[in-house]
Amino acid sequence: QQQVKQSPQSLIVQKGGISIINCAYENTAFDYFPWYQQFPGKGPALLIAIRPDVSEKKEGRFTISFNKSAKQFSLHIMDSQPGDSATYFCAASIWNQAGTALIFGKGTTLSVSS
Amino acid sequence: DGGITQSPKYLFRKEGQNVTLSCEQNLNHDAMYWYRQDPGQGLRLIYYSQIVNDFQKGDIAEGYSVSREKKESFPLTVTSAQKNPTAFYLCASRLDRGNYGYTFGSGTRLTVV
């Protein structure tokens, strides 16, 4: 119930291509779904987040698609660049509920080849 | 500039020793968190604290201890009871109302020698 399942574990994309990372959850009480980007030796940084009242959110080349009925959400990186090579984590939590913390997926290592 | 400072960046521990990882934030955030990161395992929650002098166990609290005596500080002690402590440790904080975004520190890499 508390898990967030992320796939694929690793991804290689050509420069200019689209990178797609998928996540699934079981706990229907989750209502906050962020994506974090992490470079080697650094802490994760918030990339983009979505609440389930919308099905899609776009910020620049990054888009979250959310399917509430399927309990799935995905990150799309358009026009992928070598600088996007990093590890990406999806996460889920209950918005603003005291005593809760983000549950993270296991991460996807993205390599964008030039 | 506001942020979270973790120190040291690298830490080496001998078998049977306790070590303490520092986490300080000047963001005036209410909640603070400790996560452990292992290759292929994602981020697993060790402990978290919503307010001063109160904290809760996460999924993998065994072998770890924390304190929250000040709002700005949330140190993590890795005790000798933690049998596999070699990992990358991340501290995070967030404002406990409105904005739910976490701010992470740069991490401490702990190695048992």
Cβ contact A43–B90 (<8 Å): yes
Rounded Cα–Cα distance for residues A107 and B16 (Å):
31
What is the mean pLDDT for each group of 10 consecutive residues in chain A (114 residues)?
Answer: 89 98 94 93 93 92 95 97 97 74 93 94
CB B14 within 8 A of CB B33: no
Residues of B within 8 A of A105 (CB-CB) are 42
Task: Check pLDDT > 80 for residue B2.
Answer: no
User: Strand A62-67 and strand A72-77: pairing?
Assistant: antiparallel
Amino acid at B33: Y
Q: Which two tokens stand for residue A85?
A: 């090579």
Task: Check pLDDT > 90 for residue B90.
Answer: yes
Provide mean pLDDT across the span B10-24: 93
pLDDT value of position A99: 64
pLDDT value of position A31: 84
User: Strand B10-13 and strand B108-112: pairing?
Assistant: parallel
Shortest distance between the Cα of A105 and any Cα of chain B, in A, equals: 6
pLDDT value of position B24: 98
Q: Which residue has the tokens 């400790």?
A: B34
pLDDT digits (tens, 9 = 90+) for B26-63: 999 989 999 999 988 899 999 999 899 999 999 899 99
